[in-house]
C-alpha cells in the first residue's frame, strides 16, 4: 500500500493507494517533498530566521543583477510617486521577504518617494486586514501605504487604450498617476494564461472589470494555446503583455517557490525579459509526463489556493490532463470560503442539463458580452465533460458542490469508494499532490 500526502488547507490528507493500481505520482521537481506535519513546522520555525536570510540573499542577488533594464534604485531616482503592484490573499507571494527589499532599493536613492502598494485583486474580493498582515507581517504593514484595487469602481479607473483583442484597456487610476510602476509576484503554471506573474499584475490584477471581461472571452478560453505552460500563441497572454506595456510597467520582481512557500529563485528587471526567464526556469521544474488513469487524485497545493471552488478549478485541470475520458477526478480542496463567486456558482446551479448545457451557453456568448466568472465556469464545464469530479472537503457545504454537478466526500477514502463505484474496483490511479505546480505533457 502506497501512502501519499496531499496538501489540504494548512495541513495535509493521506491517500492510501494499492501499489498495484498506482500508475504514478506526478510532482514538480522542487515540490516532491511531502508537506510538513505540525511538529515539523514547529522545528522549522526555530530555523526561520536562517531561512529568511537565505531567501533575502536570493532576492538581493536578483535585484543587483536585473535582467534587461537598469537597477530599481536607479529607475527610482527623482521619482515622486512609486506604485508597487502586489498580489492579493489568493496568491502565496512571500511579500514579507520581497516587499521590504523593494522598498529598501527605492529608498537607497529616493528616501522621499511616496510608495504605494496596490493590491491586485483582479476580479476577487478585497483582502482583509488579517490577510494583509499574514502577507506582509504586521510591523511592515503598519509602515506602508496600501490601496485596494476594485475592478468595479469605475470612478477610479482610466482608459489608456485598446487591447489587441479589441476590448477597452481600462486600469486603476493610481497606475496612471505613478511616476514609476513596479510589480512583485511569483511564477507558477497558470491554467489558461500559461504562467502567473509578470504582466498579470496589470491584467487582470489592476484592470477594470470591462477589460478583464474582454480578455477572458469564451473564444480565448477555448483556444488550444490557452493552457498551462504555454505563452507562444496564447491570445490571453498577448493582451496581458500589451496591457503591461501600455500601463508603463517598468520593473518586476518575481520569484519561484517550493512546496513550503520558500523562495528558491528570484528574477528581477524588465517586465517581459525577466518574466520569460522565470517561466523557463519554472517549466524545467514543472513539466511532467502524463500517466493516463481511470482515477486521478489532485489538489490545489493547500492554503491559500484551496480556499474556494473557484480557485480549485485550477487543480482540476491538472487532473483533466491525465485522466482517461469517462474517468474520475478526486479534488482535495478545503473550500472554507465556499464556491468563491456567486456568478460562477449560478452557471451550474441554474443550468439544467449539466456541463454540456453550461458549455453550450458560454460558447455562444460574444466577446463584447462576456459575463463575470464565465471563464471559470467554462473551464469547469470542460473538465466535467471529460470526467466526473468528487471534491474532498469537510469545510464546505456538500449540497452546494452537488448543485454544481459534482460529488462530495469528507475523506479521500470515501471518495475512492465512490470513484470505484463509477469505474470499478480494479481501476488505475494517478496522484498529483499539487495540481497547480505541474505542466502535464502527453
> Which residues belong to the active site?
124, 190
Q: Which residue in 395, 441, 288, 279 sits closest to 13, CA to CA? A: 395
Q: What is the largest CA-CA distance in the chain?
A: 69
Strands 388-392 and 323-332: parallel
Rounded distance, CA 274 to CA 282, Å? 12
Place of cell 456568448: 365
Cα distances (angstroms) measured from residue 306 to each of 12, 85, 259, 330:
12, 23, 14, 14
> Do 295 and 327 form a contact (C-beta atoms < 8 A)?
yes
Nine cell digits for residue 4:
501519499
- Judged by DSSP in three states, 257 sits in strand
Rounded distance, CA 396 to CA 136, Å? 28
With 0-12 / 13-18 / 19 or more C-beta atoms within 10 angstroms meaning exposed / middle / buried, residue 383 is buried
Rounded distance, CA 265 to CA 287, Å? 17
> Do 268 and 72 form a contact (C-beta atoms < 8 A)?
yes
> Do 137 and 96 form a contact (C-beta atoms < 8 A)?
yes
Q: In what order do the strands lie in the sheet with 145-148?
A: 145-148, 114-120, 81-87, 180-186, 249-257, 263-269
Rounded distance, CA 159 to CA 60, Å? 35
Q: Which residue in 88, 85, 184 sits closest to 131, CA to CA? A: 88
> Do 306 and 334 form a contact (C-beta atoms < 8 A)?
yes
Rounded distance, CA 301 to CA 12, Å? 9
Residues 6+ apart with CB under 8 A from 142: none
271, containing H or E segment: none
Strands 145-148 and 114-120: parallel
Helices (H), 364-409: 374-386, 398-403
Count helices and strands (H / E) in the chain: 17, 20
Amino acid at each position: 500500500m502506497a501512502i501519499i500526502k496531499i496538501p489540504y488547507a494548512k495541513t495535509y490528507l493521506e491517500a492510501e493507494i494499492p501499489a498495484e493500481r498506482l500508475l504514478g505520482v506526478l510532482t514538480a521537481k522542487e515540490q516532491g517533498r511531502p508537506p510538513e506535519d505540525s511538529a515539523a513546522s514547529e522545528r522549522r520555525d526555530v530555523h526561520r530566521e536562517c531561512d529568511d536570510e537565505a531567501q533575502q540573499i536570493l532576492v538581493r542577488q536578483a535585484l543587483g543583477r536585473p535582467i534587461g533594464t537598469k537597477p530599481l534604485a536607479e529607475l527610482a531616482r527623482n521619482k515622486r510617486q512609486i506604485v508597487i503592484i502586489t498580489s492579493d490573499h489568493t496568491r502565496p507571494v512571500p511579500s514579507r521577504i520581497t516587499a521590504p527589499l523593494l522598498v529598501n532599493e527605492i529608498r537607497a536613492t529616493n528616501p522621499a518617494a511616496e510608495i504605494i502598494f496596490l493590491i491586485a485583486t483582479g476580479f476577487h474580493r478585497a483582502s482583509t486586514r488579517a490577510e494583509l498582515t499574514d502577507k506582509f507581517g504586521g510591523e511592515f504593514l503598519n509602515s506602508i501605504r496600501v490601496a485596494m484595487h476594485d475592478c468595479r469602481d469605475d470612478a477610479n479607473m482610466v482608459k489608456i487604450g485598446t487591447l489587441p483583442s479589441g476590448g477597452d484597456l481600462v486600469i486603476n487610476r493610481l497606475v496612471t498617476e505613478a511616476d514609476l510602476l513596479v510589480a512583485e509576484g511569483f511564477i507558477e503554471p497558470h491554467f489558461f494564461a500559461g504562467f502567473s506573474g509578470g504582466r498579470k499584475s496589470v491584467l487582470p490584477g489592476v484592470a477594470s472589470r470591462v477589460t478583464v471581461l474582454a480578455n477572458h472571452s469564451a473564444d480565448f478560453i477555448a483556444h488550444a494555446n490557452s493552457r498551462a505552460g504555454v505563452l507562444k500563441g496564447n491570445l490571453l497572454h498577448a493582451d496581458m503583455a500589451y496591457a503591461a506595456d501600455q500601463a508603463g510597467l517598468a520593473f518586476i520582481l518575481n520569484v519561484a517557490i517550493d512546496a513550503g512557500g520558500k523562495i528558491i529563485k528570484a528574477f528581477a528587471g524588465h517586465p517581459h525579459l525577466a518574466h520569460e526567464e522565470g517561466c523557463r526556469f519554472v517549466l524545467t521544474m514543472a513539466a511532467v509526463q502524463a500517466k493516463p488513469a481511470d482515477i486521478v487524485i489532485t489538489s490545489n497545493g493547500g492554503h491559500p489556493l484551496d480556499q474556494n471552488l473557484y480557485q480549485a478549478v485550477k487543480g482540476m485541470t491538472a487532473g483533466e490532463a491525465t485522466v482517461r475520458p469517462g474517468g474520475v477526478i478526486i479534488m482535495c480542496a478545503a473550500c472554507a470560503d465556499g464556491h468563491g463567486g456567486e456568478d460562477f456558482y449560478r452557471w451550474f446551479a441554474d443550468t439544467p442539463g449539466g456541463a454540456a448545457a453550461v458549455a453550450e451557453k458560454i460558447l455562444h456568448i460574444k466577446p463584447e458580452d462576456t459575463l463575470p466568472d464565465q471563464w471559470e465556469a467554462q473551464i469547469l464545464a470542460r473538465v466535467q465533460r471529460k470526467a466526473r469530479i468528487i471534491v474532498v472537503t469537510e469545510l464546505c457545504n456538500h449540497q452546494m458542490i452537488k448543485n454544481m454537478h459534482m460529488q462530495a466526500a469528507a475523506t479521500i477514502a470515501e471518495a475512492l469508494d465512490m470513484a470505484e463505484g463509477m469505474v470499478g474496483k480494479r481501476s488505475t490511479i494517478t496522484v498529483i499532490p499539487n495540481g497547480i505546480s505541474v505542466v502535464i505533457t502527453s
